[in-house]
Amino acid sequence: MTDMTDITTRAVPHTTPRSTYGLAELDKETRMGGAGTETTAREIRRIDLSDFEARKAEITEELWAAATDIGFFQLVNHGIDQALVDEAFTNAEGFFALPEAHKARHGLKKGLNSGWESMTQVRPSVGTPDQKESYQVTRPHMEGLWPDDVLPGFRPRALTFEARCREVAMRVLSCFADKLGFDSDFFARAHDPQSEHYQSTLRMLHYFALPEDAEYDPNVWRAGAHTDFDCLTLLFQRDGQGGLQVCPGKEAEAQEWTPVVPSADAITCNIGDMLTRWSDDRLPSNFHRVKSPGPGDDRGARYSIAFFAQADRDVVIEGPDGRYPPITAEQYIQQRIAANFAR
């Protein structure tokens, strides 16, 4: 096994963005644009994180089983107070209720994943923009992007919630580190909020309401099918605001999608492509999408909040068995983005 004690700033060969690995991931995604079928046969496991230190070995086995089977699971008794989650949603709803001209003053910094964007994310699976707007918080790149002039206290509330999300994500990743043969703090060092290279992101999401007289178009998605680029995603949902569906990558050919019922007391998690590579494919990333309201569904707005645990830019990604060549997290993300544009 490669010595992983020093995980940052080691020189690695520059990898061509349009690499075989990046295009292979994209090829999988482009095949996932069809409606497919729905199934409730899969179990989205709920994993209890209470008394974490004393129960870590047990929790580790439960997380590993869920992650290697479906790649999606839910965390309960995770330690983030519901009042803090509710406050985060209030923050998000307050921002998205601002006039568009005001939100535009906090526009997305391209390449830095910070700020506001609307209808700009096009999934290779469907080729149409996601029907949503979002506001990204990436700590080192927020200068000029905070709306505290009209939403007093927005910044400290967002940063407090982001920090709590990171804590939970690092607990989960410490379990995966143990199973992969790394030391328990391996991933925590790779996601350092004090580093100028930190690129984990808190993302507030607002999926637009659908007018009552709008015709249902099965080819339009609130978010088209995709995998995430990161290591681990934590998703907070509100009761009654459904639409999320998942399909394990290993079962992608069947195109069978399982609805994830939103639950305010649970964090829904999925493995991202970065951790798939870091684990030498032992932890598979998972396809997911958000369907548009169909006949009889609630057509109101949908809000969710995601935390993307994404290794710092200068961290080297190298699996325990060396299945893939080493690459920095920055190069890896550039490679995945470039593959999308190449397509």
| pLDDT in the model for residue 320 | 96
Query: ∠ CA 151-165-125 to the nearest 5 degrees?
Result: 90
Q: Residue 245's beta-bridge partner residues?
A: 259, 289
Residue 178 to residue 159: CA distance in whole angstroms = 28
Radius of gyration over alpha carbons of the chain, in Å? 19
Which residue stretches of 105-180 are H helix?
A: 154-180
| pLDDT in the model for residue 11 | 35
| pLDDT in the model for residue 339 | 64
pLDDT digit string, tens, across residues 34-74: 667 788 888 899 999 999 999 999 999 999 999 998 889 99
Tokens 């070995």 found at: 57
Q: Is the dihedral of CA 227, 230, 231, 233 positive or negative?
A: negative
| pLDDT in the model for residue 295 | 72
Residue 166 to residue 33: CA distance in whole angstroms = 31
Tokens 């949908």 found at: 302
Residue 127's region, left for phi above 0, alpha for psi from -120 to 50, else beta, is left
> pTM here?
0.88
| pLDDT in the model for residue 31 | 59
Low pLDDT (below 70) residues in the chain: 1-35, 119-130, 214, 216-219, 221, 249-250, 252, 339-343
| pLDDT in the model for residue 342 | 47
| pLDDT in the model for residue 150 | 96
